[in-house]
Amino acid sequence: MCMNSKETVLQFDLSNKFVSTKDYARGLVEAINDLAPYLSVAERESLCFSKLGLKSDNVSEQAYIQAAVEVTVCAHFARFFPNGFVYEEKVNPPKDVDCSVRVEDFKYNIEVKCADFSKKHEVDDSEGFKIGSLGRLGDYDSIVADLEDMFSRGGHTLSRQRHMDNNLKSFLISAHEKFASITTKNELNILVVGCDDAMDMQKWYSYLYGAQGLFTLESYSDTSAYNRVDLVLLTNLYHRHKDPKLKDKLSGHWRLSEAFCILCENPKSLKPDETFIEFSKTIRHHNNELHSHTVEGEAPDFILKGLAIPSYVGSELQAKGIYYFHPPEPETEISQEQH
């Protein structure tokens, strides 16, 4: 592998089990080359060897995916807005954000986070029935306990799906601490979150806007702890960097413009609409299409709305051969039990 910059060329034999296809590796090189002019030699070596583990294969899968998501996001803004891009700017010293970018009269400070989905996958891949919720429900634990008992008496297993709103709360608080307490009206503080499949993105959206959601008036957490965050950008970049060899329907893994993105504005942000609108022009997002999408079905409206993202992805995108997500494998006889 060879990565160029104005100062030096990094050359080494690629040794990383997570970079599993030639196309995926080419995308990685392109992304690093987009970033290289903005990084010192030490920063490049740290990114490539310590964070991504490209030479010694010495990082965990979760650490690799976190770094890959960061690179994908930063490379997007370096590629399209090279004159205003800053890597790891200290907007609230001594802490730094992953990147910042100036676009005409506007500035965007960007922090990137990605959760560990390994326990989620353990539940998803296990046999039996699954149960989960969108948002926090007051009687959820007692309802699930009763159902678990009922299923057990019938000889079946009922597993609780992972509820990861505390992960998002931690991300919000961490980002808040990296952003300055005072910013201009033309400046946005943005948290980018790497999510998994379409239903997972629906859940993360509900962690913000569902029952007791973190961006609602009834939030289960003190919203002042993360009120510097103006916007959350949900992406499926975890999905796109997890096991790329098994996802032959996907391409452009290292391009944010090829990912599925949803803009989630903090209702308590005091920034003017114009600032949000201008940022929305810097990425490809699906907010407008989701807003106009109708979920078909006989269920109550609040249930149908809770399926908006997977419904839109299935009926408006994958049905037309558009793959932001790799489609799920056809269910076998055993997995037909799983819900």
pLDDT single digits (tens) 323-337: 999 998 754 333 333
Residue 135: other Cβ atoms inside 10 A? 22
* pTM metric for this prediction: 0.89
- 188-222 b/e with 16+ CB inside 10 Å = b? bbbbbbbbbbbbbbbbbbbbbebbbbbbeeebebe
Q: For the chain, give the mean pLDDT.
A: 88
Give the per-residue pLDDT at 156: 67
Residues 188, 111 contacting (CB under 8 angstroms)? no
pLDDT tens track for 189-220: 999 999 999 999 999 999 999 999 999 999 99
Peptide bond into 94 cis (omega under 30): yes
Instruction: Tell me the average pLDDT across 15-25.
Output: 87
More confident residue, 150 or 47: 47
Give the per-residue pLDDT at 202: 96
pLDDT tens track for 101-157: 999 999 999 999 999 988 777 767 667 676 666 777 767 667 667 676 677 676 667
Instruction: Tell me the average pLDDT across 266-279.
Output: 98
Virtual torsion, Cα 146, 151, 155, 158, nearest 10 deg = -110
pLDDT tens track for 53-108: 988 778 999 999 999 999 999 999 999 999 999 999 999 999 999 999 999 999 99
